[in-house]
Amino acid sequence: MQPRDGQTAEKAPPMVRVEKVSKRFDSVLAVAEVDFTLETGAFLTILGPSGCGKTTLLRMIAGFIEPTAGEIWIHGRPVRDLPPYRRSIGMVFQKLALFPHMTAAQNIAYPLRMRGFPRDEIAGRVERYLRLVRLEGLGGRRIHELSGGQQQRVAIARALVFEPDLLLLDEPLAALDRKLRQEMQLEFRRIQKELGVTTVNVTHDQREALVMSDRVMVMDAGRIQQMAVPETVYHRPENRFVAGFLGLTNFLPGQLLESRAGRARLRVGALTLAGTIADPSILPGTRVEAALRAERLRILEEATGEGWEVVEAEILEVVFEGERLVYSARAEALGEVPLRFVDADPLRHRRHRPGERVRLGWRPSDLMIFRADPEAPTRIGQPEREDNG
Amino acid sequence: MKRGRGLQRLILGVVVFDLLFLALPTLVIVVASFTAGKIVAFPPEGFSLRWYQAILDKRAFVDAFLRSAYVATVCTLVSLPAGTLAALALARWRLRHALAWQLYLLLPFTIPLVVSGLGMMLLFGRMGMLGMLWPVGLALTVINLPFMIWGVAACVNRLDPDLENAAANLGAPPLHAFVTVTLPAVMPGVVTGGLLMFILAFNEFIVSLMLVDARTVTLPVLMYNSIRSTITPDLAALSVVYILIAAVTVWLLDRLVGLETFLRSR
Ligand SMILES: Nc1ncnc2c1ncn2[C@@H]1O[C@H](COP(=O)(O)OP(=O)(O)OP(=O)(O)O)[C@@H](O)[C@H]1O
Ligand SMILES: [Mg+2]
């Protein structure tokens, strides 16, 4: 951009800026000081457990509810006084909210009619967007004459047809079966790339978040826990919550012994283990938890390789999950906490039986040390279920 | 499997009995109305259409029929907006004391019709409206409005509460959203409620009895008065007219809303 009036080059404002936004419902703080910006064309997925405030945040951006505190900016303009119908935001609702008394094509034409587009342009655009979501020829159907996946696509076309500045998706895929959902995820990504529309997607399906987004925002109890690219969120979680929410994670409770330049040692049960630590403010002596992803832990058949941490363990349980086996085992030296690990190639490996003794190993760089979650002592050591359902 | 068969037969038997039981009085009247004789009798004496001719010839009957139609129309026209808006307000806005409002609107159901009728007779008398026809329609709106509200509410409650948000999101200002989305989406309920109100008002007897006089008598009241003197077959013929009106209403309901939708909404 050209410098204006001799000033330094001015950057185009971000598409969305959410500035310290909070929302309180009576006694519930649904969204707490959420603060982030989203550049034009980005695809952000908000990931978090039920009730963490995802929908509330989306509704504030769409303008259906007002923040209790903070400011939302779209295109560098505060939107506090802008009603939803003037915001140029397309939204796909959790239950779709398609108009039942209209056909698919009439639903898609609705935002164009509201904007006073000429008749033939409406017809042309509706055709184009029906094709984009692969519904050619079905425009004349009533909503209840379409399958769940087809309705989904009508909702997507309706939210996109007027080329909004911003697209908001409130778990629109949650109601679909797994296979269709995975297809729709890729489809969505394709359409979003094709149109380049800035998108905020909400889900509590971590796989969807990792597959679809350029950026993932993990929320809990109304607060942002981490916002980064999917790989970073998965491989370098910033806190215990994020580490536990994504993937199948084992937690080993212990005490920090020393910490220097991202490396640390901690005491777990009778052992002293080495690991990585992201937060330099944790002092030795603090109660910590070491997170170890199930896929980083494995059975060592041969003699110890260089750089492996090894413990003896007894297999407790084996679960067949199709493409992989999930074991749980108890390593006495690490305490009573069951450790879960996966065999990603079960056909090539001998299947271990419950009661068998094995040697489990991992690399110290895979052990991530976090401050123990003070609010959830009961959760310590219980790896959370992975949500692929 | 065998037991299933037996159960099926039993259910079938009960259904057939129910259908006969429900339809029997109607059937008897229909058959009796075609009698050629001078009294209502079952089985009828011979076959003729003379009693249908008779009711058409009798000025009083035709006038009363038209008055009933007028009253039912007034009642329907008033209850359409009143009931629709009340149902939408109850379902959509988080009204303070919503439960109290609901009870208040159902009040007419909890009071015997005679009492309501008496109250309105006194009220209309004070206002000098006794002997006029349109206040009767108004009175019938008041006593039957819960039906209208229920008809619409059943429809509203099935709707996605985000429908209006979606309209706003897509660029529709509130009034626009109401006209283009909310109203059409609840239309099946509105039509159902409206037809119900019409037929109820057309048939209403007790309250009407207390509000009409000789010049404004409606059909059910006139029939009642006739029965008190002599029961002639023309009354059976009139009853068949009522059956026809009910049939037309059900047909309209099916055409406009789809009976399937209507029955599912109950
Ligand atoms: N209108 C409301 N009135 C009162 N409390 C509300 C309201 N809407 C949301 N909440 C509360 O705010 C919190 C966040 O709700 P929200 O719907 O944003 O969660 P969510 O992350 O979308 O959950 P889910 O994944 O289940 O959809 C919850 O505790 C919820 O009970
Ligand atoms: Mg939600």
Confirm if A341 and A297 have CB atoms less than 8 A apart.
Answer: yes
Domain ranges of chain B: 50-264
State pLDDT tens for residues A252-301: 999 999 888 889 999 998 889 999 998 888 888 889 999 999 999 988 87
Q: Considering the entire predicted model, what is its pTM? A: 0.79
User: Is the Cβ pair A100, B167 closer than 8 Å?
Assistant: no
Q: Which of A191, A193, A182 is nearest to A203 (CA)?
A: A182
Q: What is the pLDDT of residues A321-354, one digit of tens each?
A: 888 889 999 988 888 889 999 988 888 888 888 9
Torsion of CA A346, A352, A358, A364, to 10 degrees: 30
A53 CB under 6 A from ligand 1? Answer: yes
Q: From the CA of A18, how far away is ligand 1's center (Å)? A: 19
Contact predicate A60/A20, CB 8 Å? no
Q: Is the CB of A25 under 6 A from ligand 1?
A: yes
A115 touches chain B (CB under 8 A): yes
pLDDT digits (tens, 9 = 90+) for B137-169: 999 999 999 889 888 888 888 888 899 999 999
- Residue B172: which of A85, A90, A101 has the nearest Cβ? A85
Where is average pLDDT lowest: A155-164, A166-175, A262-271, B252-261? B252-261
Taking each helix axis from N to C end, the angle separating B233-256 and B183-203, rounded to the nearest 10 degrees, works out to: 180
Contact in structure between A122 and A112 (CB atoms under 8 Å): yes
Residues of chain B contacting residue A143, judged by C-beta atoms under 8 Å apart: none
Distances (CA, A) of B172 to A67, A86, B169, B217: 22, 9, 7, 49
Q: Which residue out of A46, A55, A66, A93 has the highest number of ligand 1 atoms within 8 Å of its CB and is therefore the one to mutate? A: A55
- Kindly report the number of other CB atoms within 10 A of residue A285's CB atom: 9
Q: Residue with structure tokens 């937690």?
A: A251
* pLDDT tens digits for range A93-135: 988 999 988 999 999 999 999 999 999 999 999 999 999 888 8
Alpha helix stretches (DSSP H) within A96-177:
104-114, 119-132, 148-160
Segment A175-187 mean pLDDT: 79
Give the sheet arrangement for strand A309-320, strand by strand. Answer: A298-299, A357-362, A309-320, A325-330, A338-343
**Beta-strand relationship, A338-343 and A16-25:** unpaired
pLDDT tens digits, A237-260: 999 999 999 999 999 999 999 888
B228 by Cβ neighbours in 10 Å (0-12 / 13-18 / 19+) ranks as: exposed
Interchain contact A66–B (C-beta under 8 A): no
CATH topology of domain A248-371: OB fold (Dihydrolipoamide Acetyltransferase, E2P) (2.40.50)
**A72, A79 in Cβ contact below 8 A?**
yes
Answer yes or no: is the C-beta of A27 below 6 A from any ligand 1 atom: no
CA-CA-CA-CA torsion for B138, B139, B140, B144, nearest 10 degrees? 100
Distance from CA of A94 to the nearest CA of B (A): 9
Contact A130, A105 (CB under 8 A): yes
Ligand 1: residue whose CA is nearest its atom 30 = A51
**What is the distance between the alpha carbons of residues A97 and B182, in angstroms, rounded to a whole number?**
12
- CATH number for A16-235 (one of 3.40.50.300, 3.40.50.720, 1.10.1040.10, 3.30.930.10): it is 3.40.50.300
- B183 at interface of A, judged by CB pairs closer than 8 A: no
pLDDT digits (tens), chain B, 266 positions: 455 678 888 888 888 888 888 888 888 888 888 888 888 887 888 888 888 888 888 888 899 999 999 999 999 999 999 999 988 888 776 656 777 777 777 777 788 888 888 988 899 889 888 888 999 999 999 999 988 988 888 888 888 889 999 999 999 999 999 999 999 888 888 998 999 999 999 999 999 999 988 888 999 999 888 888 877 888 888 888 888 888 888 888 888 877 655 555 43
C-beta separation of A149 from A176 below 8 A: yes
Q: Where are chain A's structural domains?
A: 16-235, 248-371
**What per-residue confidence (pLDDT) applies to A68?**
95
CA distance linking residue B194 with residue B191, whole number of Å: 5
Instruction: Establish if B256 touches chain A: CB-CB under 8 angstroms.
Output: no
Q: What is the pLDDT of residue A232?
A: 95
Residue whose Cα lies nearest atom 7 of ligand 1: it is A25
pLDDT of residue A16: 93
Which CATH number is associated with domain B50-264?
Answer: 1.10.3720.10
